[in-house]
Structure 1
Amino acid sequence: MKIRSFILEDGEAVIRLWNECGLVRPWNDPRKDIERKLTTQPELFLVSEKNGVVVGSAMIGYEGHRGWVYYLAVDPACQGQGIGQALMQEAENRLIERGCPKIQLLVRSNNSKVLAFYEKLGYEVGDVLMLGKRLIPDE
């Protein structure tokens, strides 16, 4: 398995992966999410490949205060092989290189399998509420 930065040719494979993992929502156009990420810290958009096939992704950001991880996905046929853990380790390493003091991520509260994955990696549930406001609709 190899972890590298996303390239344009990965687009359709990554979107397929996100759909297979249930990460795509009707109000978020995955193509627009990719386009937007490629304008800001594109080197922090990671994919993992196995035998030349994209099997994982992680979209990372750092604004100078906290690092964030979005779209962590592993092909369901490859889950349990350490790919997600390797992507998270690479995300942490790249953020540490930038002097990032803390990493955060969002998980749907009913996704117990994913919550257990992150807890095994040392992540803790914080006592916070997430608030959001759509500024530009993805139609």
Structure 2
Amino acid sequence: MDVRSFQLADYQSVTELLETVLTPECYEQTMEAFARQLSWDSELVLVAAVGNDVAGIMIGTIDNGRGFYYRIAVHPKYQRQGIGKQLIASLRQRFVQRGVSKIMITADEHNEPILSLYESLGYVTADFFRSFQKLSIVAG
């Protein structure tokens, strides 16, 4: 598995992955945030590739010196293989390299089911950022 920055050639695979994994409402919100983040800083959109397959994606952003894990999605056939953890670790490394003061997890209604994944990596409730704002508003 290779974790790398998003490339334009990944677009179709990423959108299909997001459409497969996310609810329709979450998909719409995520696509807005995805497009906006690509225009701001594409280095914070990571892709996990297994061979020629896009197995997972993670969207992050930096706002006011804080790094935010916004959305993570792993294709069902690749779940429970450590891909999500690798995406989180890779994005964390990018945040650290950029000197963020704190790393937060966006804990909207769509991320609630996977907060235990972050907890298993040592994050605590204080690291969860609960807001009704979307990434496109928060990071502007």
Q: Which TM-score tier does this pair reach, normalised by the shorter chain? A: 0.7 to 0.9
CA distance in 1 between counterparts of 2:42 and 2:111 reads 28
Match runs of 1:1-139 below 5 Å: 1-22=1-22, 24-25=24-25, 28=29, 30=31, 32-108=32-108, 113-126=113-126, 129-132=130-133
Question: Partner amino acid for 1:125?
Answer: T
CA distance in 2 between counterparts of 1:133 and 1:113 reads 18
Query: Normalising by structure 1, what TM-score?
Result: 0.82
Structure 1 segments unaligned to the other structure (5+ residues):
none
Question: Partner amino acid for 1:123?
Answer: Y
Q: What per-residue deviation string (whole Å, max 9, x for no partner) do you get for residues 18-38 of structure 1? A: 1222255275372x4333222
CA distance in 2 between counterparts of 1:110 and 1:61 reads 17
Question: Partner amino acid for 2:50?
Answer: K
Of Structure 1 and Structure 2, which has the larger fraction of its residues in strand?
2
Q: How many residues align?
A: 135
Question: Partner amino acid for 1:6?
Answer: F
Judge which range, 78-87 or 61-70, deviates more.
61-70
CA distance in 2 between counterparts of 1:11 and 1:123 reads 30
Structure 2 segments unaligned to the other structure (5+ residues):
none
Give the RMSD, CA atoms, in angstroms: 2.7
Question: Partner amino acid for 2:114?
Answer: V
CA distance in 1 between counterparts of 2:136 and 2:81 reads 38
Percent identity at matched positions? 31
Of Structure 1 and Structure 2, which has the larger fraction of its residues in helix?
2
In the TM superposition, residue 100 of structure 1 has moved relative to its aligned partner by 0.8
In the TM superposition, residue 106 of structure 1 has moved relative to its aligned partner by 2.0
Distance 1:116 1:53, change over 3 A: same
Question: Partner amino acid for 2:45?
Answer: F
Distance 1:41 1:78, change over 3 A: same
Query: Normalising by structure 2, what TM-score?
Result: 0.81
Question: Partner amino acid for 1:132?
Answer: Q
Larger Rg over CA atoms: 1
SS in structure 2 of the partner of residue 41 of structure 1? helix
Judge which range, 56-65 or 83-92, deviates more.
56-65
Distance 1:135 1:57, change over 3 A: closer
